[in-house]
Amino acid sequence: MSASELRRRVRAAEALKAKTREMAAANVLTAREAAVKAAKAKEEADVTAREAAAVVLRLFGNDAELVSELLGVPAEELEREAKPVTAARAREIIEELRAHAERPRSTRPRKPRPDAAGAASATSGVPAPAVTTDDSRADAA
């Protein structure tokens, strides 16, 4: 093997090492970013769970035993989760829930299907015969 071939191979090995280091560093950065996002999502979920516990206890007159039985969660755990939530925040969430419940639901106008509209007017009160082409579906019904 010539000296130039040896130098070329050494340069190729060094380039491969550098590329591997770059990929490893990028991998670490990506993993850290994902971990930060996951931690933030977990914290938001924890806050939401604590607020929900406080709200349900408040709505049920702070009857932790009743709520515990309804939800299948130990009363101590409910009380512990609800404790950090202020009464003002619980009232605020309850108001948001009530406002949401009072909002009229938006319904899209439905267009009658051409098959259903034509069949309904043609039969005019006569029940349509049940037609099944697959015996397994008829058995399942």
* pLDDT per residue as tens digits for the range 35-68: 999 999 999 999 999 999 999 999 999 999 999 9
> Can you give the residue range of the structural domain that contains 18?
3-102
| The predicted structure's pLDDT at residue 137 | 47
The rounded mean pLDDT for the chain is 85
pLDDT at 70 over 60: yes
Determine, yes or no, domain membership for 107: no
Determine, yes or no, domain membership for 118: no
Q: How far apart are CA 68 and CA 77, in angstroms?
A: 9
Kindly give, in sequence order, each residue whose CB lies less than 8 Å from that of residue 73, ignoring residues fewer than 6 positions away: 67
Band of pLDDT at residue 80, cut at 50, 70 and 90 = very high
- Phi/psi at 5 (5° precision): -65, -40
Determine, yes or no, domain membership for 109: no
Mean pLDDT value of segment 86-102? 93
Determine, yes or no, domain membership for 73: yes
- Joined together, the tokens standing for residue 131 give 């037609």
Band of pLDDT at residue 104, cut at 50, 70 and 90 = confident
Q: Cβ distance 80 to 53 under 8 Å?
A: no
Q: Cβ distance 58 to 89 under 8 Å?
A: no
Determine, yes or no, domain membership for 59: yes
Determine, yes or no, domain membership for 121: no
Q: How many domains does the chain have?
A: 1
Q: Cβ distance 54 to 64 under 8 Å?
A: no
